[in-house]
Chain A
Amino acid sequence: MFNYLRKRLTLHLCSLLGLGAILGGCRQEFRPPSVENELLVPLVQSQLSIQDIISDSVRSEDSDGLVSIAYRSSLYSSSLGSFDPLETEEFLQVAKLQSLELGSQSTVREVSLGQVALASGPLGNFIIAQNGNNAVIPTIPGLTYGPLLADGSNLFETVTFDSGYMDIIIQNNFPTGLSNVLFEVRNQSNDSLIGQETFASIPAGTNQQRTIDLTDKTVEGLLKGDILNFDIDGSGASAVPIDTNDKLIVTLRVRDTKVRSATAIFPAQNVIELLDTAALKNTRDLRGITATAASGFVDLRVVSTVEDTMFFDYLIPEGKLNGVPFAISEKIPPAPSGGSVERIYEFDVSGYTFDLTGQPIINAYNAFYSELFGRIDSTGRLVNLSLNDSILMFVKLRDFIPEYIEGYLGNLETSVGPEASPIDLFRSFRGGELNFEDIQLSLAISNENGVPFEVDVKQLEGLNSGTGDKATINLSGLPNPLQIGAADGLNSVWEETWDISDATDDLNKLINVFPDVLTYEMEVISNPLQDSNNLMQFAVDSNLLNAFIDLEMPLSLSASGLMLVDTIEFDGANVESPEEILSGTLYLIGYNGLPLEASMKMTFYDQNFNQLTDLTFENRMLSAQVNSNGKATEVTKSVLEWEFVKADLDQILRASFVIAEASFDTETTDPVKIYSTDQLELTLSGKFNYLYGQE
């Protein structure tokens, strides 16, 4: 006792002194004591009706509220995307320079009477002596004069003409007429003759013109003209005024040229215009007249031998996006002398709608029309161009997947299967027995495209891939092959349903397999009548040919040990302050208006699916009271309990997954009916031994 007193007294004296010291200075905060007590709180409340168990999409009810499952499982689905991508071959559009123009070029040269006289000997001296006088000029034959040099090298170095003309115009301003004038033009560099023309008579004060045909002739920038002969007719008996400055004017004019090749300064001009069509391939027997690209590209490879910058425009006038034709405007740099330059372009044509009739060149299908224009610009530089120069356009429509296509869409026969199609209606079912009073099974096919089909269902089977159990569905009631009509328009669907079976016993066997897949085999033929002249068909990539299995079951059933299992992802780290809960009891309070009784269990697993602990409510949720018609008439209250300790909680909080199991039974094998108004009201509450305030 005294030891006890001494210890307590010492404790309190020390506490007081410590308290004073602490409170007066840097004392600690008073820490509220931890208190362990029992909290009893509702956690979650909910109402569970058949609407919560069966989603709206598969649930229906009759006028009495009796609920039916109308489940549709997709069996097969095919879209336009299953077509191979359409392509064109890389077609070559070789565009040579169709014309080269240099425009009209002229040069003028003059010869004075004095110059001629100086070159004409004694008689010429006489004429010079009479300059300023009136004198009789005698006939002087056989005179020559030249050369007259012309320099056009600032415009071209050399030109070979495909066609063209050189006009020679001689204006005679001498005091007497001239006759037998023989004039020739030669290239200075090699003295090659371009042309020679004779003027029989050129009276004084007049001009005469002769023309040289330049076809196939090469003309250089430096020319020389020679008057190989001319005769002075003389003034006869009359004296005429002599002026040695009187001139003979020679004009050389090049016109109407088509240049074959030239090293020249070319003016701006269009040099290519090519209009053509390209054909699609990979079309099998498809005859497309219009297609909109879901995706696709125009590949353009350009090879140019033109030694000038080439500007080109490539257009597909009937390939439009939002009303704007597909058009490419690019330029390709000058090719090196004697060589070529290549450029590659890729253009996305997604969304473009193409007219595939090939109009205006042809009016057919699987083709499109395009235009190519090339031009050069005036650069002021001497360049060497030839009509042999070309621009090669390699054009290809690649990976063209239509999202919409019109025309005859082909006769294609496809064998499908054996294929497995998932069915999730029984995803959570793990065992037990379930028997419906009435079941209907049917096959529905819908066609959203304007193409007729024929479908022949060969085999249909339900399979539980977990257990290996299977049930074959008798197809004898199905009028195979099924004729599938075309949709009338873009926004309409052709659909029809065929009953497969209404044999309830057989179908209950199928259901009690709890199939997770349906396996099937079928043959699908498009355009079975092969009416290839029907170009009014259409297909949209997103429109499908669908086959469904329809299962309809009014919820008038009996169940025995029907086990539903679901796996839920769980993160215990999200649970707030769990360490304060030491132990407790969870209560599941149910007011059951459903004609089923149930038991529940949750098993918790870690990330590697190692079992940690389980939560099992020992007793069962009792069924509602049921009348002789199988209808629930009175709600039954049940309280399910689960006691736990902190170790259980710790395990739960480590969990990453929860497997929830529920087992359902009807009280007897007589079927019960589930109505939309039946529901289970649930409250989950907990009594927690809770430790407050522990740090």
Chain B
Amino acid sequence: MRITRNLLTLCVALTASCSVFAQGEWLWNNQAYFQNDSSSGGLLWMHFDYHMGSSSLTNSLLNEAIFQAEITPETARETTDSFDGDVGRAGGYAEGEIWYRSGGQNWSWIAGAGFRELFGARLENDLFRLYLRGNAPYADETLALGPSQLYYSSHQFMGLGLERASEKFTWGFTLNLLKVSRYQSVDLNESDLFTAPFGEFVESNVDLTYETTGSNEAKLSAWYGTGVTLNTYFQWNASERTAFYGKVKDLGFLQFEGLNTSVLDTAYRFEGADVGNILQLDDSLFEDGSLDSLEALLGLRTTNESQTKMAPGYFMIGLSTSFSEKVGLNLELRQWWRAAALPQLRVGLPLRLSERFTVEPSLRLGGWNTANSGLSLAYEPFDRLLLVLRSEQFENLLVSDNSSGQSLMVGGMLRF
């Protein structure tokens, strides 16, 4: 079974080697899949996009974590045994957006709304090991915990902007108001943990900053912070067959009236609770209430102050070109900020099987994982409607134990 799945993975990867990139934007999908210009006229575009990847965590583990809400010891062990190098990354997002563009001659106004959940981590693999398996398997070893960063945010937004279209160049921008419903950030500088045999003592050096909003309110009603961001983009049709485009997404800031911040910078050796007379030991040792004193002992400083943070976002540039009426090439280079991701390159090879149907094998490199292949389907049932389905689930479906990224997007555009 394992061999079969690996062979299938190889086939899909080969197929995807000349794929076209796909993205959830109204200008470029028509261009990327059908070489059609959609820069004029009114339209409604919506998409849902889910992406997750890790250089250290396998799809098997992510699937368990996300869909079964548990990570089995076997998966954890296989994952940690497969670690290569000292550092791992993990990240992903889930977002949904809906945009409306008026059908102006040159200028159009645009409005939209949506949400995004974003998670990104750059962690020492020892931290993954500690999280997944605990410290007992690593007794008598020193685990490097930092430098590591972890980021998570969740927000909903409304945006309003303008788009200017000319024969060869279209550009636009929107100003977005963000309602932040969750925010968490962990910065762990040089830190380590040593566990003595039999747990006789635990020694750690920790330099940690942890920031978080509350999490008591449901996300839809929670409003822990407010953000203002700018989206701006362009498309330049350099020739009939070639277009360049670029985008800056969510360049701006988040403002929190009160952000819970905990700072810990300590070297600590724990040898167990000191009991003066063990003959008088009773169950009071296990009672609650020791946390406060432990925090004080460790030197944990906690504040809640107004803070401004850079909003998480990305910029990207892309190229879409056609070699013939049937075959094209899509390239995209994307860089996230505040998400612990490496630069990401996506290469897509759109194959126009008919006037209304295109398939695009693709390959994604970088980001939060090393490489991932995918396949996109674009279908125009009639002139005014475009449907796009993109999946990077093949390795996950076939060899989830040995793959580490997954992505799925559905989108649709209605022009009028």
Q: Which of A's residues lie within 8 Å of B, judged by CB?
A: 1, 5, 8-9, 11-13, 15-17, 19-20, 23-27, 29-46, 48, 52-53, 566, 568-572, 574-576, 587, 589, 639, 682-687, 690, 693-694
Contact = CB atoms under 8 A, between A and B. Distances in A.
A563 to B, nearest CB: 15
Interface string B65-86: 1111111110010000000000
A333 B391 CA distance: 109
B222 to A, nearest CB: 10
Contacts of B272: 41-45, 683-685
B199 interface: yes
Interface string B45-61: 00010100000000000
A27 B281 contact: no
Contacts of B408: 12-13, 16
B200 A683 contact: yes
Nearest to B281: A44
Contact of B139 (A12, A16, A25, A40): A40
Given A15-B67, A568-B282, A587-B198, A36 B73 contact: yes
Contacts of A682: 278
Interface stretch (B33-41, B212-220, B292-300): B212-220
Contacts of A685: 198-200, 272
A11 B400 CA distance: 14
A635 B201 CA distance: 19
Interface in B367-416: 393, 396-398, 406, 408, 410
Contacts of B96: 20, 23-24
B131 interface: yes
Nearest to B280: A52
B76 A42 contact: no
Contact of A25 (B135, B220, B396): B220
Contact of A40 (B66, B131, B134, B286): B134
Nearest to A13: B408
Interface in B125-144: 131-137, 139
A630 B272 CA distance: 32
Given A13-B408, A574-B287, A683-B271, A29 B393 contact: no
A16 B287 contact: no
Contacts of B132: 35, 37
Nearest to A687: B136
Nearest to A16: B408
A684 B198 CA distance: 9
Contact of A45 (B69, B73, B137, B274): B274
Contacts, number: 173
A564 to B, nearest CB: 10
Contacts of A568: 282
Contact of B134 (A20, A23, A690): A690
Interface magnitude class on chain B: 35 or more
A294 B69 CA distance: 73
Contact of B393 (A9, A25, A39, A45): A9
Given A40-B195, A44-B275, A690-B134, A589 B200 contact: yes
Contacts of B4: 1
Pairs A-B, 3 closest by C-beta atoms: A37-B134, A38-B136, A685-B199
Central interface residue in A1, A32, A40, A566, by most chain B CB within 10 Å: A40
B115 interface: yes
Given A16-B48, A25-B220, A576-B287, A34 B69 contact: yes
Contacts of A686: 199
Nearest to A25: B220
B271 to A, nearest CB: 5
Given A23-B94, A35-B71, A42 B202 contact: yes
A92 to B, nearest CB: 63
Contacts of A38: 133-137
A576 B294 CA distance: 16
A34 B198 CA distance: 25
B202 A41 contact: yes
Contacts of A569: 282
A52 B279 CA distance: 7
B11 interface: no
A576 B286 contact: yes
B140 to A, nearest CB: 10
23 contacts: A1-B4, A15-B67, A16-B408, A19-B48, A23-B94, A23-B117, A24-B96, A26-B220, A29-B219, A32-B69, A33-B71, A36-B76, A41-B202, A42-B200, A46-B278, A46-B281, A48-B277, A52-B277, A574-B287, A575-B283, A589-B198, A639-B198, A683-B200
B393 A42 contact: no
Given A24-B115, A26-B218, A33-B69, A576 B199 contact: no
Central interface residue in B131, B200, B284, B396, by most chain A CB within 10 Å: B200
A46 B271 contact: no
A575 B287 CA distance: 6
A686 B277 CA distance: 20
